[in-house]
Chains A and B, each alone.
Chain A
Amino acid sequence: MSNPTSAKQTSVSVFEWIDTRHQFLLDTYAELIVTPDRKHISRCLYLAHQIQDACKVNKDGIISALQLNRTPRYQYVKELFAAVLCELLGKQCGLTSSKRLLLICAALTQDIAMLAEQDSTLDKQTTPLTEGQRKFISKHPAASKKILEDAGVKDAIWLSAVEQHHERMDGSGYPNGLLGEQISQAARILSTADTYVAMIRPRADRVTKFPRDALKEVFLVRGDQIDVPLARTLIDTLGIHPPGAWVKLANGEIGVVTGAGLDHPFPNVSVVLSEQGEHLDQAQPRDTSIRRNTIVEIVPAPFHFNLGSILQVIWPQINV
């Protein structure tokens, strides 16, 4: 990775930006596990800075790219996605930018102790967990925290979020069965982000949900598993139809949500299929607060002969 202060500034699409951050995260994991030290921790902080800066200028594009990026090659997009949501939720909760950086780092390293197992077995397993796997999983928050401490992390926000991100508001979580506000705010934010992202990413043992359905499911566990204000804040932040979701409009067109509109329940959409199902040469913007453009249905990603290229140019590029 080039030094951003000396490199000539260029801009890349949101998809390319995610690809590069994902590769950087993969390399960081590989090195951090082998050699847990400050040098590799600083890579996490560097990536957290990049995520925070990019969210300032193009959060809708980044969320869209994370939502639309569904190939198995991106095995750690879950961590990137959770990190981006932590930045946005943390901001809504009034956390300072320096605290949010630590929260982003926590999201990126939350499962550092079980990445290998998760990648090779757990994410692909369709059968129930064995007793041994359960024990291993129940210990991973503490084990992840230990790796980070060995690497020199001392920040309470980062460490508590990693250690407590599987605790639940009603005390049903692990490893310590903490209740309500015994769980750190950082951990509650990370847990909210994680719960949502887990539902919308492909996994062998469960059906991937549409973003809107996942938001509903997160809201339904408010108070029990998720902090009530955070469940609401997640929906306020993403909207009922989050960026990157595919929708059908009242006029029959099909498109992707590109970001919040002027009026919150009515996001902006770029359509790629016409009312007659024709493949459009380029995406056409639609304001869904106009009646004929009202969202009437959630749909799967459509087939379009040139979808990848069309999506590349919908969102502004990011300077790197």
Chain B
Amino acid sequence: MEVLELDPSLLLGVKEIDEQHKELVDLINHSREILQSDQDLTELAQIFHRLEQLVIHHFSAEELLMVKYKYPGLKHHKEMHDISVNSIFDLDVSHIASDPSVGTALVDQLSEWLFNHIKEDVDMVTYLKSKGAC
């Protein structure tokens, strides 16, 4: 999977959320660099711990904005967030250092997750911009 880039149309103009999206993209891209450069793969586990904390902050921030501006797709969007929380918290990193295929599978899974998350955010961003959230 290629390097992920954050489409400028997804920039909301809300500093906190824009920075979180950028940080998510950077974390996943950094994970792929680690896989490709034969570094110690335990660093991937550290990145996943950062990711856990980041998604908690990111989803909370998005949902508070959606509630504030009465986004009609909040329920569905939160359900998507919940699926992501389950996926990320359930990542098994116990064999990440001893088996490179584990790292590859996890990074592929996360890349796909982030791609889908950002795609899901398009409608929300459009709505929030129309409501003057930024």
A68 in the interface (beta carbon within 8 A): no
Residue pair B89, A229 in contact (C-beta under 8 Å)? no
How many angstroms from the CA of A148 to the CA of B46 in the assembled complex?
48
Residues of B within 8 A of A240 (CB): 49, 52-53
Tell whether, in the assembled complex, residue B85 and residue A232 are in contact, meaning their CB atoms are under 8 Å apart. Answer: no
CA separation between A219 and B97, bound complex, in Å? 29
Once the chains bind, are B85 and A219 in contact (CB under 8 Å)? yes
Q: Which residues on B sit within 8 Å (CB–CB) of A266?
A: 46, 49
Nearest B residue (CB) for A230: B60
Which B residues lie within 8 Å of A292 (CB)?
Answer: 42
Tell whether A231 pairs with B60 under 8 Å between CB atoms, given A216-B85, A291-B43, A297-B94: yes
Whether B94 pairs with A265 at a CB distance below 8 angstroms is: no
Q: Name the residue among B60, B63, B86, B89 with the largest chain A CB count within 10 angstroms.
A: B60
Closest to B93 in A: A296
Known pairs A219-B85, A232-B57, A240-B52; A291 contacts B40 (CB<8 A): yes
Instruction: Tell whether, in the assembled complex, residue B56 and residue A219 are in contact, meaning their CB atoms are under 8 Å apart.
Output: yes
Q: Check B97–A250 contact: CB distance below 8 A.
A: yes
Q: How far is the CA of A250 from the CA of B78 in the complex (A)?
A: 33
Q: A173: CB under 8 A from chain B? A: no
Instruction: State whether the Cβ of B114 lies closer than 8 Å to any Cβ in chain A.
Output: no
Contacts of A175 in B (CB 8 A): none
Pairwise interchain contact A223-B63, C-beta atoms closer than 8 A:
yes
Inter-chain CA distance A296–B92, complex, in Å, is: 8
Q: Does A248 contact B (CB under 8 A)?
A: yes
Tell whether B119 is near chain A: CB-to-CB under 8 Å.
Answer: no
Q: Which of B46, B63, B89 is within 8 Å of A222, CB to CB? A: B63
Proximity string of chain A (250-265) to chain B, C-beta cutoff 8 Å, 1 when within and 0 when not: 1000000000000011
A228 within 8 A of B: yes
Q: How many residues of B contact A (CB 8 A)?
A: 24
The digit string for B52-94, where 1 denotes a CB below 8 A from any CB of A, is 1100110010011001000000000010001001100100011
Q: Number of residue pairs across A and B with beta carbons under 8 Å? A: 62
- Residue from A228, A264, A297 in contact with B53 in the complex, judged by beta carbons closer than 8 Å: A264
A313 on the B face (CB < 8 A): no
- Decide: B45 and A296 in contact? CB cutoff 8 A: yes
Interface SS, B side? helix
Chain B residues within an 8 Å CB radius of A250: 42, 45, 97
CB proximity to B under 8 Å, residues A233-252: 235, 240, 248, 250
Complex interface residues of chain A between 292 and 315 (CB less than 8 A to chain B):
292, 294-297
- Which listed residue, A212, A248, A289, touches B89 by the CB 8 Å rule? A212
* Interface presence of B96 (CB below 8 A): yes
Quick one: which of A220, A250, A264, A292 has the most chain B CB within 10 A? A250
Are B64 and A295 touching (Cβ within 8 A)? no
Please, how many angstroms separate the alpha-carbon atoms of A294 and B93 in the complex?
A: 10
> A248, B46: Cβ atoms under 8 Å?
no
Give the distance in Å from the alpha carbon of A235 to the alpha carbon of B52 in the complex.
10
Partner of A265, one of B50, B89, B96, B97: B50
Q: Tell me, in angstroms, the Cα distance from A297 to B42 when the chains sit together.
A: 12
Q: Give residues 202-226 of A contacting B (CB, 8 Å).
A: 212-213, 216, 219-220, 222-223
For B60, the closest partner residue in chain A by CB is A232
Task: Write the nearest CB–CB distance from B39 to chain A, whole angstroms.
Answer: 10
Q: Is the CB of A228 within 8 A of B49?
A: no
- A-B contacts, 22 of them at CB < 8 A, read A212-B89, A216-B86, A216-B89, A219-B56, A229-B64, A232-B56, A232-B57, A240-B52, A250-B42, A250-B45, A291-B40, A291-B42, A291-B46, A292-B42, A294-B42, A294-B45, A294-B46, A296-B45, A296-B93, A296-B96, A297-B93, A297-B94
Binding site for A on B (CB under 8 A): 40, 42-43, 45-46, 49-50, 52-53, 56-57, 60, 63-64, 67, 78, 82, 85-86, 89, 93-94, 96-97
Top 4 A-B residue pairs of the complex, sorted by shortest distance between their CB atoms: A265-B49, A232-B60, A297-B94, A250-B42
